[in-house]
Amino acid sequence: MVDADERIDEAEIGELTPPDRTLMGPGPSDVNPRVLRAMSTPLVGHLDPSFVEIMNEVQELLRYTFRTDNQWTIPVSGTGSAAMEAAIGNVVEPGDTMLVPTNGYFGGRMASMARRAGGEVVEVDAPWGEPLDPADVSDALAEHDPDVFGFVHAETSTGVLQPDVPELTAAAHDHDALVIADTVTSIGGVELRVDEWDIDVAYAGPQKCLSCPPGASPLTLSDEAMEKVLAREEEPRSWYLDLSLLEGYWGDERAYHHTAPITNVYALREALRLVAEEGIEARWARHERLAGALKAGMEGMGLEMNAPDEYWLPSLNAVRVPDGVDDGEVCSELIDRYDLEVASGLGDLDGEIFRIGCMGHSARPENVIYVVTALGDVLESMGADVDPGAGVTATRRALEE
Q: What's the CATH number where 119 sits?
A: 3.40.640.10
CA distances from 327 to 348, 350, 379 (A): 14, 9, 10
* pLDDT for the residue 2: 52
Q: Which of 277, 311, 343 is the last residue of a domain?
A: 277
Output Rg (C-alpha) for the chain, integer angstroms: 22
Q: Which of 277, 310, 333 marks a domain boundary?
A: 277
Mean of the pLDDT values across residues 35-43?
97
Tell whether 319 and 260 lie within a shared domain: no
Is residue 225 a contact partner of residue 201, using CB atoms and an 8 Å limit?
yes
Q: Are residues 240 and 294 in the same domain?
A: no
Q: Is residue 6 exposed (0-12), middle (13-18) or buried (19+ Cβ within 10 Å)?
A: exposed
Burial 287-300 (b: 16+ CB within 10 A, else e): bbbbbbbbbbbbeb
Whether 231 and 337 map to the same domain: the answer is no
9 falls within a domain: no
Residue 389's domain spans which residues? 280-400
- Classify 36 in phi/psi space as left (phi over 0), alpha (psi -120 to 50) or beta: alpha
Residue 161 φ/ψ, nearest 5 degrees: -100, 125
Span 206-220, mean pLDDT? 98
Q: How far apart are CA 249 and CA 201, in angstroms?
A: 19
Q: Are both 72 and 198 inside the same structural domain? A: yes
**13 domain-assigned:** no
pLDDT at 12: 83
Residue 12 lies in a domain: no
- Domain total for the chain? 2
pTM of the model: 0.96
Task: Please indicate, yes or no, whether residues 215 and 358 belong to a single structural domain of this protein.
Answer: no
For all residues of the chain together, what is the average pLDDT? 96
Q: Which DSSP symbol is given to 349?
A: G
Domain assignment present for 2: no
pLDDT given for residue 8 in this prediction: 65
Picking from 259, 277, 295, the residue at the C-terminal end of a domain is 277
What is the pLDDT, as a whole number, of residue 171?
Answer: 98
The answer to whether residue 76 is domain-embedded is yes
Name the percent of the chain lying above pLDDT 90: 94
For residue 318, list its beta bridge partners: 355
